[in-house]
Structure 1
């Protein structure tokens, strides 16, 4: 069993309230979850209205598939207009 983990740091420049931040994150999370069947959730900075950290997990039996899935997820998050990608870190176990 191969497990891929990724943390994604986002800056949500247009958010002026936590409600706006959560609207943007919900859109990203729902899109990624439905398209790629991965586990994704906000894991840090819940009380800051312009910063977010998402955690993504993928399980497969092939390292190449896990790597490809994480690359596809990060491209989808980058393509979202509501948040700017600050950084990301991947780890394959």
Structure 2
């Protein structure tokens, strides 16, 4: 079993409140989960209205598939006009790693 994860730091555009932020982040989290069949959550910058951290994870039998999904998520985030992708951290581990 292979487990891949991605943590993205995003800068939101013209957002002036946490309520407005939710209007951008909730649809993003839902679309990522639907499109890539992954677990997704807002994981950082919860109190800031123009920043967010999004974390995703993917589990599969094949490391190549996990890497393709994680790379696809990164491309998807980079192409979104309402966000600026500031940084991305990724990881890939096997369940047999000690």
Pick the structure with greater CA Rg.
2
Question: How far apart in 2 are the matches of 1:15 and 1:60?
Answer: 36
Runs of 5+ consecutive residues of structure 2 not aligned to the other structure: 94-98
On the 8 A contact 1:28/1:80 being kept in 2, the answer is no
TM-score by length of 1: 0.95
Residue in structure 1 matched with residue 70 of structure 2 by the alignment: 70
On the 8 A contact 1:28/1:77 being kept in 2, the answer is no
Structure 1 outlier segments of 4+, above 6 Å: none
**1:1-93 maps to which residues of 2 (within 5 A)?**
1-93=1-93
C-alpha RMSD of matched pairs (Å): 0.8
TM-score by length of 2: 0.90
* Per-residue Cα deviation, 1:24-68 (whole angstroms, up to 9, x for no partner): 111211111111110010011111001111110000011110000
Runs of 5+ consecutive residues of structure 1 not aligned to the other structure: none
